[in-house]
Amino acid sequence: MASAEELAAIKKAKILMVGAGGIGCELLKTLVLTGFRDIHLIDMDTIEVSNLNRQFLFRKHHVGQSKAKVAREAVLKFRPDVNIVAYHANVKSTEFNVEFFQNFHVVLNGLDNLDARRHVNRLCLAAGVPLVESGTTGYLGQVTVHIKGKTECYECQPKPAPKTYPICTITSTPSKPVHCVVWAKELAFTRLFGDKNQANDLDSQTKEASSASEQQVLPLELQEGESVASFAFRVFDYVFGHNIEAALKNEDAWKSRRKPVPLYLNKILPNIAEEFKGSCENGARPENSCSAMSVLGLKNPQEVWSIEDNARVFLKSIEILYATKSKAIGTLVFDKDDQLAVEFVSAAANIRSYSFGIPMLSLFDLKGIAGNIVHAIATTNAIIAGLIVLEAIKILTSDFNHSRMTYCLEHPSKKLLLMPVEPFEPNSSCYVCSQTPLSLEVNTSKSKLRDVVEKIVKAKLSVHSPVIMQGSNILYETGEDLEKDMVLLYTSNLDKFLVDLPTPITNGTVLSVEDFQQEFSCNLHIKHRDEFDEEKEPDGMILTGKWLTSQTPEQQLNVPGGPTEGNNVVEAVAGETKTINDELQEVDGDFAEILEVNTVADKKRKIQDEEQAQKRMRVSLDER
Amino acid sequence: MAQRNNKYDRQLRIWGDHGQAALEHASVCLLNCGPTGSEALKNLVLGGIGSFTIVDPSRVEAADLGNNFLVSWENLGQSKARSVCALLQELNESVGAKFVEESPEALLDSNPSFFASFTLVIATQMPEKALIKLDETCRQQRVMLLVARSYGLAGLVRICIQEHDVIESKPDNPVDDLRLHKPWPELKRFVDQFDIDAKDQLEHQHIPFAIILVKVAEEWKAAHGGRLPSGSKERAEFKAAVRARKQSDDEDNYKEALASAYKVWAPPTISSELHSVLDDSAVEIHSTSTDFWILVAALKMFMANDADGDLPLDGAIPDMHSYTDYYIRLQKVYQDRAEANVSAVEANVKSILRKIARDSLSISRSTIKQFCKNARNLRVLRYRTLADEFSPLAAFKIQRLLAVEESRELEQDVLRLKAICINLLNDIGVNGASISEDLISEFCRFGAAEIHCVASVIGGIASQEAIKILTRQFTPLSGTFIYNAIESTSSVLQL
């Protein structure tokens, strides 16, 4: 039904799709059926069972395969005459540079995380290619249009910072289930199965003890000849018994707090050794070896299990993880689609909660918290994909006056289910598309260049391969084509305090941060400050700017440079999971990290903003 | 079970196990499987409905390949219903799949009882005349009907149900019902165990804000003849009284108390929607009353006799800065009260059931509990019949003209459609001359085409509303939803 002009534009358009998940599957299908013939598709993910309730191009037998490739094949089977190029790759990898982006008439995002969205935004700005951006959570969804110079870019409005927790709350004084989940995921899981160097808090409390008797058995290491079951028993007693007892010795800490109860296996499950005997001899490989709960006969993941059952799941999940993934131990990263990892983390979180007098939750709820899981259904994705294509057509026919950002609401409000909004003009104080400088408050004699690079440049500005300069002096740079001595120099700079650098950074210094791949650059004005509140500003640095609203940079209990997903946590209170922080951002591993309409509260903020900013926009209501 | 839970994990988080069970019990009939219908059904099959039946007489033609993803070139010349059915079955093998190669209109004439076995009928791309008859048939047989239509760059979705009751309407902004203004004896006793002027600094900053506010409010009432603060002056005084108890400026519990102080004088009220449910004539119970209305009647009795006009307490409390065990104990006080309220409503339900000679245990406590928890947000939607909506005769003419494909010259069509529109509008008392000619040409140009991206939007919305009515969660559209892809606008009209 498109006009001749539209049809011509559709036929010759070259489209880049980033993401082949929930929105991506719908989008690829809708593009092809609308007449698009040349589509490039990037996605680094592989297919999971939990995708199958909406990502309809995938079948059960595709689990584990590349989303981009399977999506391409599925569509080609039906429409062999279109050209689809699939890349099973990270959009941040260097092959997708500005020149690559310049090949396309429009870029369509169906992504699941803020970091990648920012990256694509910068490449689109640099390449001058229009971007249609999208996201969904449950019944909520949105499509926004970003055209350089005409509309705001994706980063013109600050995105809510993920909720994070002070480290001591996690390691010593949890008071909510979520604190225990973060502990289980970031400390216990990582210490036992992942990179030990990134999570040694579990050992730290006993340094004195272990140095006193050197040849002692290392508490969290499997000994030669030791069965995994007895190792698991030891881990339990050490982490939930010994460590708690060690913490209780610091009596000051518990003066006004309820003391945690040390838990030992012989109290909770006195007969556990006999109980587990049989299964150990079988090498813990029953048919259902992918799940501790099914081996144990626990059926309902939505039920809150007893402390005994949680202890059993804890032990059994360690056993099966060792039996089935022994090679990967030491490199595992928590994955919400890995049943065993979820079981281990849930059980560990519950046992810790029990010890601290915090209510235990069901595996289902804990999985939602640990994985920052966002609701996701087929219906919203189908609607959003249709809207993306309609916006893409307007861009291709230069019909910019009709471009709209559209919000799909959960409840029809003011008689609207779809709320169209005219795109905003670029924000003149945006640090990305208007290159407005930012300020960084930092103690220049106590912070190292590494802190600035990891905590600010990478984590807050999403710059992946930064070049940091003061005037024409390069302080830091990475890349394959660097000379050896330069690499050495830059690496040694990382561990210097700011004032000790070859060209010292002091109050008033202006640093420039660039990323050649993103063609991004911005200036950081340094302001020296002596003191920071350890609890509230544990980075020891505060990034500000006209662009940013008041941010509360709390400590992130996270691996530097690690996936952003890990930072976001949904609060849970006494059995009911709910989002507490209004500005909370959630991430769906599949496709949706939510943007402005991420949470209900957020959506309302957006609507309020709109009411306040009548001058900047008109809500195009149906005149009737 | 584990597989099912994994597959549906992301949606179970929206509608829960009981919502999923409702979907799995649903049997859906799709009339016409063009792109709009196929897309709508695809989304429901992915979500895991129990079974579906497709009714469509047509064969797959080359044009279908251009806009319907659920047929492929291999199906050319074969039954469209069969082809779509087979592909949908592939998407989710736990869904039962059937098809009937017949025209929906013919089936409606020859065998209207065909529809009785379904939970929901989704009618797509059907002319109004047949829809009106279908609406009547479905209402008689107590089958839910959802109408969806894509038309060029426009589309509509309409629900046709005699009455749709929603207990779990899941509002955007659930309110906290804390009864700070009216603490019941157990809450008062609990609050009295705390000394909000505690000398111990840590103790002082870990008393939950609800306790602080109840205390200050009780003191206020004692000093003001039992009255709560009213007017801005007294409210400011009340806040000052809270502020005066602070021992330092960074006590988070006091910050929360000040932010929530308004809850003392502005407790949640009963919404107009709930009032209209409580005042509905259906609340007069007789032997054929549904469980929903029996529950509403019991609720009304509870409010009048047991609770001084208040709703049952839902028992939920928001997060508060507090020691964990204070919070848990406070939570228990609220939960116990909620349970007691449920018991009172349950007693009313039993007495009503006995009165109408039904088994007094036929409505379970868990149902009553869920009802009480959601009592504040009950919704009843009644949809007028399509016959009522389409009574002016000219409407048929428009439809007939719109449904004719490419048989006439476009210009002629524009003139005819304009004449019909003006007549129709004049008939129902609207100035017909105000209709835009551009709009009419646009509609003629569409020529009843189903564009895939519009079908994707309309099919998506249709399936979304289907899920809301099947799970009885969230409030569905209350009127005719119209989407205009030219202007990116949409609206819901209650005609």
> What is the mean predicted confidence (pLDDT) over A292-312?
91
> What is the mean predicted confidence (pLDDT) over B32-60?
96
Who among B7, B153, B200 is closest to A256 (CB)?
B200
Instruction: Report CB contact under 8 Å: B485, A35.
Output: no
Q: What are phi and psi of A85, to 5 degrees?
A: -110, 125
Alpha-carbon gap: A623 to the closest alpha carbon of chain B (Å) = 10
Mean per-residue pLDDT of chain A: 79
> What is the mean predicted confidence (pLDDT) over B345-358?
96
Contact A57, A381 (CB under 8 A): no
Instruction: Identify the band that residue A273 occupies on the pLDDT scale cut at 50, 70 and 90.
Output: confident
Position A327 scores a pLDDT of 82
Position B392 scores a pLDDT of 58
Q: Is the pLDDT score of B420 beyond 80? A: no
Is A131 or A541 the better-scoring residue by pLDDT? A131
Identify the weakest region by mean pLDDT among A148-157, A327-336, A366-375, B428-437: B428-437
Is A112 or A47 the better-scoring residue by pLDDT? A47
Position B395 scores a pLDDT of 56
Chain A residues lying within 8 Å of B39, measured CB to CB:
382
Q: Is the pLDDT score of A622 beyond 60? A: no
Identify the weakest region by mean pLDDT among A195-199, A604-608, B22-26, B175-179: A604-608
Identify the weakest region by mean pLDDT among A264-278, B151-165, B168-182: A264-278
Position A153 scores a pLDDT of 94
Is B301 or B480 the better-scoring residue by pLDDT? B301
Residue contacts between A and B (CB atoms, under 8 Å): 220
Chain B residues lying within 8 Å of A29, measured CB to CB:
69
Q: Is the pLDDT score of A616 beyond 60? A: no
The token pair that represents B414 in the structure block: 């524009």
Alpha-carbon gap: A349 to the closest alpha carbon of chain B (Å) = 16
pLDDT in tens, B120-131: 999 999 998 899
What percentage of chain A reaches a pLDDT higher than 70? 80
Length of chain A (residues): 624
What percentage of chain B reaches a pLDDT higher than 70? 92
Instruction: Identify the band that residue B177 occupies on the pLDDT scale cut at 50, 70 and 90.
Output: very high
Position A574 scores a pLDDT of 27
Helices (H) and strands (E) in chain A, counts: 22, 16
What percentage of chain B reaches a pLDDT higher than 90? 66
Position A591 scores a pLDDT of 28
Please classify residue A619 by burial: count the beta carbons closer than 10 Å to its beta carbon, then call 0-12 exposed, 13-18 middle and 19+ buried: middle
Who among A1, A256, A604 is closest to B202 (CB)?
A256
Position A612 scores a pLDDT of 37
CB-based contact, A339 to chain B, within 8 Å: yes
Contact A600, A121 (CB under 8 A): no
Position A599 scores a pLDDT of 37
Instruction: Report CB contact under 8 Å: B172, A410.
Output: yes
List all residues 6 or more positions away from A304 whose beta carbon is below 8 Å from its beta carbon. A360, A361, A362, A575
Position A603 scores a pLDDT of 39
The token pair that represents B20 in the structure block: 């999923």
Alpha-carbon gap: B92 to the closest alpha carbon of chain A (Å) = 8
Position A278 scores a pLDDT of 59
CB-based contact, A379 to chain B, within 8 Å: yes
Instruction: Identify the band that residue B429 occupies on the pLDDT scale cut at 50, 70 and 90.
Output: low
List all residues 6 or more positions away from A138 whose beta carbon is below 8 Å from its beta carbon. A374, A375, A376, A377, A380, A410, B13, B14
Who among B47, B202, B490 is closest to A417 (CB)?
B490
Task: Round to whole Å and give the CA distance between B367 and A273.
Answer: 43
Identify the weakest region by mean pLDDT among A200-209, A235-244, B41-50: A200-209
Position A531 scores a pLDDT of 85
What are the C-alpha distances in Å from B331 to residues B82, B259, B423? 56, 20, 64
pLDDT in tens, A375-430: 788 899 999 999 999 999 999 999 888 899 988 887 766 556 788 888 998 988 88
> What is the mean predicted confidence (pLDDT) over A487-491?
87
> What is the mean predicted confidence (pLDDT) over A558-562?
28
Position A551 scores a pLDDT of 35
Task: Round to whole Å and give the CA distance between A500 and A443.
Answer: 12
Instruction: Report CB contact under 8 Å: A417, B445.
Output: no
CATH superfamily of A4-161+375-421: NAD(P)-binding Rossmann-like Domain (3.40.50.720)
Position A211 scores a pLDDT of 42
Task: Round to whole Å and give the CA distance between A55 and A50.
Answer: 9
Helix axes A363-370, B9-25, angle to 10 degrees: 140
Q: Is the pLDDT score of B113 beyond 70? A: yes
Q: Is the pLDDT score of A372 beyond 90? A: no
DSSP three-state, residue B94: coil
Please classify residue B199 by burial: count the beta carbons closer than 10 Å to its beta carbon, then call 0-12 exposed, 13-18 middle and 19+ buried: exposed
Identify the weakest region by mean pLDDT among A232-246, A576-590, B3-17, B66-80: A576-590
Position A208 scores a pLDDT of 43
Looking at mean pLDDT, say which of A282-291, A600-609, B263-272, B480-489 comes out highest: B263-272
Reply yes or no on whether A168 is catalytic: yes
Position B133 scores a pLDDT of 95
Is the domain spanning A438-544 CATH 3.10.290.20? The answer is yes
Is B388 or B301 the better-scoring residue by pLDDT? B301
- Chain centroid to Cα A106, Å, comes to 26
CB-based contact, A82 to chain B, within 8 Å: no
Contact B327, B186 (CB under 8 A): no
CB-based contact, A418 to chain B, within 8 Å: yes
Burial B434-465 (b: 16+ CB within 10 A, else e): ebeeeebbbbbebbbbbbbbbbbbbbbbbbbb
Instruction: Report CB contact under 8 Å: B10, A375.
Output: yes
Position B88 scores a pLDDT of 95
Q: Is the pLDDT score of B416 beyond 70? A: yes
Q: Is the pLDDT score of A580 beyond 50? A: no
Position A412 scores a pLDDT of 65
Position A581 scores a pLDDT of 29
DSSP three-state, residue B433: helix
Instruction: Report CB contact under 8 Å: B459, A377.
Output: no
The active-site residue, picked from A124, A156, A168, A290, is A168
CB-based contact, A397 to chain B, within 8 Å: no
Instruction: Identify the band that residue A216 occupies on the pLDDT scale cut at 50, 70 and 90.
Output: low
The token pair that represents B309 in the structure block: 């006009």
What amino acid occupies position B482?
I
What amino acid occupies position A268?
I
Q: Is the pLDDT score of A223 beyond 50? A: yes
Q: Which residue of A has its CA nearest to B484?
A: A622
List all residues 6 or more positions away from A361 whose beta carbon is below 8 Å from its beta carbon. A177, A304, A346, A349, A350, A353, A369, A572, A575, A577
Radius of gyration for the alpha carbons in chain A, expressed in angstroms and rounded = 26
CATH superfamily of A177-357: Ubiquitin activating enzymes (Uba3). Chain: B, domain 2 (1.10.10.520)
Task: Round to whole Å and give the CA distance between A26 and B250.
Answer: 50
Position A53 scores a pLDDT of 87
The token pair that represents B164 in the structure block: 């749709």
pTM over 0.95: no
Q: Is the pLDDT score of A471 beyond 80? A: yes
Position B194 scores a pLDDT of 93
Q: Is the pLDDT score of A445 beyond 70? A: yes
Position B434 scores a pLDDT of 65
Q: Is the pLDDT score of A619 beyond 60? A: no
- Laid out side by side, the sheet with A416-421 consists of A83-87, A38-42, A14-18, A106-109, A131-137, A140-146, A405-413, A416-421
Alpha-carbon gap: A279 to the closest alpha carbon of chain B (Å) = 21
Dihedral through CA A422, CA A426, CA A428, CA A429, nearest 10? 100
Task: Round to whole Å and give the CA distance between A315 and A305.
Answer: 15
pLDDT in tens, B211-237: 999 999 999 999 999 999 988 999 999
Q: Is the pLDDT score of B322 beyond 80? A: yes
Position B399 scores a pLDDT of 52
Q: Is the pLDDT score of B439 beyond 50? A: yes
Q: How many CB atoms lie within 10 A of CB A498?
A: 23
Give domain limits for chain A.
4-161+375-421, 177-357, 438-544, 553-610
Please classify residue B466 by burial: count the beta carbons closer than 10 Å to its beta carbon, then call 0-12 exposed, 13-18 middle and 19+ buried: buried
Q: Is the pLDDT score of B437 beyond 80? A: no
